[in-house]
């Protein structure tokens, strides 16, 4: 019997979370998918993201283990506890020739622009490796 009560509690919590998600999905006539565009030049790669309904203060840009992640958190009200879920807009694998320390972002006219400059030292890298022959 106790297991059923716990199960009922968990089902109710899930229902509240799903209702919050449904409200978020139908807010302002439904959800609008983010628009992402990638532009490449000789000196950098640029990722443009338009995320309708999300303020620039809510957007986050992070580099994690060789990936550029653009996301924002969605907060669901599950009764007394807030349930936070990251909504990933872009997950982009960084090539070795991207200067990770030089990445910058700005928000202008409703578009988040992330600039990924190329590392000039890496693009034309050539090294002859001597072979150690031991007998």
- The answer to whether residue 129 is domain-embedded is no
Q: Give me 38's structure tokens.
A: 């990638």
Residue 82 pairs in a beta bridge with: 77
Whether 67 and 94 have beta carbons less than 8 Å apart is answered as yes
Predicted confidence (pLDDT) per residue in 24-78, tens digit: 455 544 556 789 999 999 999 999 999 988 899 999 999 988 899 999 988 877 6
Predicted confidence (pLDDT) per residue in 2-22, tens digit: 444 444 455 665 555 555 544
- The answer to whether residue 14 is domain-embedded is no
Tell me which long-range contacts 38-42 makes (C-beta under 8 A, separation of at least 24).
38/92, 42/118
- The answer to whether residue 6 is domain-embedded is no
Expressed as residue numbers, the domain containing 88 is 32-123
Assign residue 111 the CATH number of its domain.
2.60.40.790
Distance CA 101, CA 52 (A): 28
- The answer to whether residue 101 is domain-embedded is yes
- The answer to whether residue 107 is domain-embedded is yes
- The answer to whether residue 104 is domain-embedded is yes
Instruction: Name the domain count of the chain.
Output: 1
- The answer to whether residue 17 is domain-embedded is no
């Amino acid at each position: 019997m106790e297991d059923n009560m716990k199960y009922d509690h968990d089902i109710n919590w899930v229902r509240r979370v799903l209702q919050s998600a449904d409200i978020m999905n139908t807010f302002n006539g439904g959800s609008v998918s983010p628009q992402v565009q990638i532009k490449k030049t000789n000196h950098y790669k640029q990722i443009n993201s338009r995320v309708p309904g999300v303020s620039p203060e809510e957007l986050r840009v992070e580099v994690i283990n060789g990936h550029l992640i653009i996301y924002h958190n969605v907060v669901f009200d599950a009764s007394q506890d807030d349930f936070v879920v990251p909504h990933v807009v872009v997950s982009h694998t960084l090539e070795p020739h991207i200067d990770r320390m030089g990445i910058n972002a700005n928000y202008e006219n409703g578009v988040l622009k992330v600039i990924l400059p190329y590392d000039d030292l890496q693009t034309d890298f050539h090294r002859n490796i001597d072979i150690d022959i031991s007998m």
